[in-house]
Amino acid sequence: MVVEHKELKELLPPLRWCAVTRDQVISNGYRLDTSAYDIDAMEALARVHHNPYGWVYLWSEKGMVKEAYVGGRFKRIYTENKSDIPFFLPSDIESVYPTPSKYISGKTVAPLDDLKVQKGMLLISVSGTIGKTSLVSKKLDKQVFSHDLLRVTFQGPYDLGYVYAYLNTEVGLKLLQSNNYGAVIDHIEPEHLTRLPIPNAPEEVKRSIHEAVVASYDLRDQSNDLIDEAQRLLYEALGLPARMELNPKYYAPDAGFRCFTVKREDLNNRFDASYHIPEVKEILSLIAQNAAEVTTLGDPRVSKEIVLAGVFKRTYVDKNAGAPFLGGRDITLLAPKVEKFLSYAVHKDRINKELKVLENYVLISDRGTIGKVQIVPKHWSGWAVSQNIIKLIPASSDIAGYIYAYLQTPYGEAQIKRETYGAVVDMIDDNSISNVSIPLLKEASVQSRINDLVLEANALRYKAYLKEQEALQQMEAVLKAL
């Protein structure tokens, strides 16, 4: 078949090009391959260099950074005991409700005080996915973080929020992730900030952006405080310790390895040992002691439906023609940087039946890191979720927050992970989640209070999102001020 020249041209991507000076080529080791000169990064650099406010290098005599450093490396002694020292990784910093990925023993020989972060710092991931950023909020203050994070303090009173907003724009992130010629780099050191240009906006503009960012993080702290209070009430009502301390009974405890027996009637057609671990049996016994009733997430009084989307061939489109598509890694974030949009035209029926989420739905990651739980905030309403996320539709708004509060506890998490199956790829499914136990409280007023606290916290997350968007819009205006 002969394709007309005009039709062929329409099928090809638009031609992109840029000019590179001889000095740039020489300085870049005489590299002539296009990968050494990223067009988007060079365009971003030009936008900053031609900003009417002028520009400065971020860490320089006239810049904004006071100090930037990474923590020292050390040999870690990890432990399963959650009474030990919480240890946060770069993947934890963007979470709307930050929790430590690991715990390290107090016997660890290392200057841990040097690894603690302080409120008012900016954290930046320096390897892996470069450029994840977070302010050190009240919840993260004085916590121990991995060395793989850049700790940054600032000169002026408004520089913290201003720089945070800049690094969360496409221009700022692109420049952070590239060298002077635009080539993507795999790792950054503190000295990288001495070569990172930033528009030098007037103090009043910086103040407005900074205050919006700080307000966003204050609202996140308020939200997290409400969730902590909801869980405190839950522990109190069930007579459970906040730190899960179990004493499971094993068969032949002196054997030198863990072993236990299971009755035939308790097998539930599951022959994997992880499903029958005594710890879960003890959890179920503990929550039953002070509950009015222990039921399951599949109970119609708890959920209308539990949905796991099927696997399908996806058609992605421009964001104006598609639904934002969330993956399992996105659900812990306040404002996921969505890069994929499902076509409404192609997937309309599937989006409406399986994928679409609404405010206060509960989401559970079912592959990869199993058991991450999130309650859908208002700004995600109408978005779509992948088959890596199970969607629990609460029976009503009167129990949605309570479900989230319970599943966020170690007791709920252990029950979710118990359902894991798979020889190569661990996963859970909608039937597994339907079988997870959940206690209903004796005092309906306490259960209602827990539910209301979580829903109030979720509403504050939406306000925090709006404040951050306000800051980013102002920062975009700075970058477009030509």
Mind listing the pLDDT tens digit for each residue in 392-412? 999 999 999 999 999 999 999
CA gap 124, 93 in Å, rounded:
9
Average pLDDT, integer, range 106-125: 84
Structure tokens at 479: 């970058």
Average pLDDT, integer, range 217-238: 97
Domains in the chain with CATH codes = 22-200 (3.90.220.20), 240-289+291-441 (3.90.220.20)
What pLDDT, on a 0 to 100 scale, did the predictor assign at position 6?
52
Beta carbons within 8 Å of 298's beta carbon, 6+ residues apart = 306, 433, 434, 435
What pLDDT, on a 0 to 100 scale, did the predictor assign at position 231?
96
Instruction: Answer whether residue 2 shows pLDDT above 60.
Output: no
Phi-psi region of 319 (alpha: psi -120 to 50; beta: other; left: phi over 0): alpha
Average pLDDT for the chain: 89
Structure tokens at 71: 């923590």
Distances (CA, A) of 112 to 69, 268, 413: 15, 46, 29
Mind listing the pLDDT tens digit for each residue in 251-270? 777 777 788 888 888 888 88
Asked if residue 370 lies in contact with residue 342, where contact means CB atoms within 8 angstroms, the answer is no
Rounded to two decimals, the pTM is: 0.89
What pLDDT, on a 0 to 100 scale, did the predictor assign at position 153?
97
CA gap 430, 388 in Å, rounded:
11
Buried/exposed 264-273: b ≥16 CB within 10 Å, e otherwise:
eeeeeeeeee
High-pLDDT (> 90) share of the chain, % = 61
Greater pLDDT, 200 or 17 = 200
Greater pLDDT, 30 or 443 = 443
Beta carbons within 8 Å of 96's beta carbon, 6+ residues apart = 220, 223, 224, 332, 333, 334, 461, 464
- Minimum mean pLDDT among 33-37, 414-418, 439-443, 460-464: which range? 33-37
10 Å CB burial of residue 482 (0-12, 13-18, 19+) is exposed
Asked if residue 451 lies in contact with residue 399, where contact means CB atoms within 8 angstroms, the answer is yes
SS (H, E, C) the chain: CCCCHHHHHHHCCCCCCCCCCHHHHHHCCCCCCHHHCCHHHHHHHHHHHCCCCCEEECCCCCCCEEEEEECCCCCCCEECCCCCEEEECHHHCCECCCCCCEEECCCCCCCHHHHECCCCCEEEECECCCCCEEECCCCCCCCEECCCEEEEEECCCCHHHHHHHHHCCHHHHHHHCECCCCCECCECCHHHHHHCEEECCCHHHHHHHHHHHHHHHHHHHHHHHHHHHHHHHHHHHHCCCCCCCCCCCCCCHHHCCCCCCCCHHHCCCCCCHHHHCHHHHHHHHHHHHCEEEEEECCCCCCEEEEEECCCCCCCECCHHHEEEEECHHHHHECCCCCCCEEEHHHHHHHHHHHHECCCCCEEEECECCCCCEEECCHHHCCCEECCCEEEEEECCHHHHHHHHHHHCCHHHHHHHHHCCECCCCCECCHHHHHCCEEEEECCHHHHHHHHHHHHHHHHHHHHHHHHHHHHHHHHHHHHCCC
Instruction: Answer whether residue 177 shows pLDDT above 70.
Output: yes
- Minimum mean pLDDT among 23-37, 86-100, 122-136, 187-201: which range? 23-37
What pLDDT, on a 0 to 100 scale, did the predictor assign at position 190?
93
Distances (CA, A) of 61 to 58, 64, 175, 264, 294: 9, 8, 20, 73, 63
Asked if residue 206 lies in contact with residue 162, where contact means CB atoms within 8 angstroms, the answer is yes
